[in-house]
Structure 1
């Protein structure tokens, strides 16, 4: 028997109220999976990545909740069931931005991770989805087949998973499964030189701005950008941008402040519990203290041909994309525009 998956879209939309289009499309597809009674055919003979999502610890600002404790329960169940869960990631890190997403997927390919276990907790119930990774852009295809279960007790759910696997006729060749969860490494997303400044050539070349959110809202913030820019489609090939006269492209990373700093290769003390975001305007410094687990947006500009990434001189991330983009532009203007 095949049926539609249980509705979890309201759950995840509450998690990603400020999410970008790629993230929303992923969760939309997750809600509209075609659910089968049997496990994915090769899940007991292949490697699986586990993607985890839990409620925010705080909503203003959004602070990531503690998520690793449930992975310990899950790993015991996966091992007993014969599912080789080799790496655990928090979903926000995977969906943190266009460049970051593809670097994470390359890491999945390097480890031959062909299946995913998506483990979500909404504060009351757990949701577990098992499926094959079939789409490069959104991880899963529209109406893709998957196996799902939900419940209030994760340990009992994992016992049910074990019984499902034990009673199946699937090939079982995962013999060396680790005892405890292994957490996937946060990738460094910049594929070229990292520059802690702004390029003087911004003034003479056009900047491509992907339509990652409402274009009217983006335009409102971009009014402060002092040079030429234009909208482009998301996920457009960078080579096409150069053909259309663009030499630079605007990117962002959106995840916990700690994860964003790791992805963009910032140095920080491992004992820090908060980071200081700073903007300089009219010679005045404006600072905001951010919990390392707070969800933030950090923007940067990439030179398409040379792949140089212009991060800026200061950590200027914001809690919303509007704030993060505005902070970046304010600091850029302060450095490049002299009255």
Structure 2
């Protein structure tokens, strides 16, 4: 499932391919499934009745990418980023452009023609262009009209205990959520939301949370792992192989302490490895969900991924499976009493 989701194209605002995969994967395992007016997939899986709770499980379908915003006389495509992408990573990147997935490559001035000052400067997005082999501006406009999307051309691969691919933020969360929905029923009613446009402002989650009106919410994510060599001895945000990452605080929300306690106590009881994400970095759909209506207790549980928001990410499969396990076991222990405010 993770392979199929990672290989699928779904830049923010153009999640249709991913949505089709999700619908096919869950349709026979839920009691109801709909697509709302902005493209979120909303699925309902009735609980056993042991707990009368409405629990929202969230994962976003979209990925970062590029959009065509202009042309050069030579037939190159000017572009802008959709979501947060570091322009330093882009030169030489292979792309799939438009609905027909035309091959493209991002070009920049060759190093042979750059002076010393240019070589030592960080490349700006305005210095880059997409080459689709068009002979002139007229052909480029015909092949890739303004607003055409472009996505990274990356293929999922197995690498021992790890896998590499694109869009693990948040296809890892989508794959985990699908696995949960395809399993046994939980004590509580599950309202799953596969959301759109997270990378451009948590937009789908805001709509979904308002519509579902849950008692609490779990956002399933792929998050930053920077356990790679650094100039200074600083703690990594998260590390591969040390289990799912639990958010205490990021730029979008502060985790509900009752749900955080539930997750950590469950993990400790069952010897499931976990780690805390370094506070203050990033943001997730939980940032929009927790502010919906009168407020929704929310938590984020994430699979650590190296090199997210780039052409290729890498995650540890044990972390992925432990994320599913910890979420499943925590949901089985969730009660209304836990959510009571002391």
Provide TM-score, normalisation by structure 1: 0.31
Provide TM-score, normalisation by structure 2: 0.31
Relative contact order, CA 8 A, sep 6+: which one is greater? 2
